[in-house]
Structure 1
Amino acid sequence: MKKVLSVVLLVLAAGAAAGATLLPFSELLISLAPGQPQTAYVTTGWSTRFGGTKDEHGPLFGIPIVVAAAAVLVGVRWRKVAFAGAAALAGVAGMLFVHLLNVISFHEAGNIAIDPGLEAGFGNGIWVLIGAVVLAFGAVVVHPDD
């Protein structure tokens, strides 16, 4: 029973982590001129969009997340690998969270004079990624020792 639960949690964690890369990690709403409507600036694991324009040089946050998710999947067989994958996923998620927190704090502090009404916040992708970390460590806890 523990093995089945561990496998389910590891697969869910890897799937959630990979899926999180397609969701917004951060969202900023900014007006480029007084009286103009705000435009969304959205960053995912693979792209950055400003309104309808996609930045051709994406952030590629998704690469280390997918690699860590793959390690989590390999952990289905070995508990130590599951732990290493969960730790890698936690490290990537933590670094991304701190980076986004700094970016959001910078913008919320009024450092962009263009739009004093700028709104900056986390997207749902970061929360799904953190949930994947919790699932991965839960799987490590119930993983049977081989």
Structure 2
Amino acid sequence: MNDEVTPKSKNKSKNRAANQAALQLLIDTYPDVFSRDNVRPLKIGIQEDLIADEKVAKNKIKRALASYVRAPQYFKAMVEDADRVDLSGEAVGKVTAEEALHAKEKLKEFHQRRREAQREREKAQREQEKAERMSNKLEQLVSRSKR
């Protein structure tokens, strides 16, 4: 497989690292709300609450929330009638049937993209192995003809 680091993949890695660092900041600052192990649906409008609380920079809040609510664990937590939590970790509303269905669809899309990416990686691996076999055969033929 081609392991070249392209500018696009490098930027994606940097963004992912920055998003994860911002999320860790929210987890550390609001442990009753944000967790990697106990993901719960968030209150609608929690971004405004976080900004008003002024404990974390606005740009970091946006990065962290985007990562948090697009994670498969968050989609799994979005089941009908599940409690939504505010900044203190208290229940302040429920997940609606429509929101739960939307999350289920997003989770399905996530898994589909992951499967497609895996198939692409496997295909690229097979093509590379085929090219290497062909190259080895050509080298053997060239070395035999030199004898």
Using structure 2 for the length normalisation, give the TM-score: 0.26
Larger relative contact order (Cα-Cα within 8 Å, sequence gap ≥ 6) = 1
Larger Rg: 2
- Structure that is richer in strand per residue: 1
Taking structure 1 as the reference length, what is the TM-score of the superposition?
A: 0.26
